[in-house]
Amino acid sequence: MGNSSSMLTQYDIEEVQEHCNHTSGNSVTVPKCASLFIFQRLLRMLDGLNFKEFVAFLSAFSPRATLQQKVEFIFKVYDSDGNGKVTFSDMLEVLRDLSGQFISEQQREQVLTHVLEEAGYTKNSLLGLSDFMKVLCSFISNKFLSM
């Protein structure tokens, strides 16, 4: 899969086993992708991974994965250029992929702006992992509190 050597060290094997221990039945099932665009984004994330990295990638889909592992994975989906920061544009692109033609571009921007503002950020904010987590937590708590 990647350009790295395919030889696994004992440490690599133990790390792969650790990832597998977080999965039920030592296998990982990948949920159906809601969107072809998201599926393509996930495939791009796989490009260049060695086996150990591939297992780590799949472990985020496990029901035994921690919330932190899942949030880190989601962050990587949004951080398409891998620079460790998520921009308004990055989030808008994923929202566009998820919503398709169901809502207009203007509606997407309004929703995203509102979500960011609720968490104390603006359209110009560069979100690191902790900032991204704060936005997610704010969105989730506001969503469930308003029900």
Nearest to 75 by CA among 126, 124, 14: 126
- Answer yes or no: do 91 and 109 share one domain: yes
DSSP 26: G
- Answer yes or no: do 99 and 143 share one domain: yes
- Answer yes or no: do 61 and 72 share one domain: no
Helix/strand/coil for 96? helix
Token code pair at residue 123: 């359209």
Q: Tens digit of pLDDT per residue, the chain (147 long)?
A: 444 555 667 787 777 667 666 544 445 444 444 456 777 778 888 888 888 888 888 888 888 898 888 999 999 989 988 899 999 999 998 888 888 778 899 999 999 999 999 999 999 999 999 999 999 888 887 766 665
- Answer yes or no: do 71 and 58 share one domain: no
pLDDT of residue 147: 56
CATH number of the structural domain spanning residue 113? 1.10.238.10
- Answer yes or no: do 91 and 110 share one domain: yes
Distance CA(138)–CA(31), nearest Å, equals 25
Phi and psi (nearest 5°) for 127? -95, 120
- Answer yes or no: do 60 and 81 share one domain: no
- Answer yes or no: do 14 and 71 share one domain: no
- Answer yes or no: do 95 and 130 share one domain: yes
pLDDT of residue 126: 95
Task: Please tell me whether the overall predicted TM-score, pTM, comes out greater than 0.75 for this model.
Answer: no
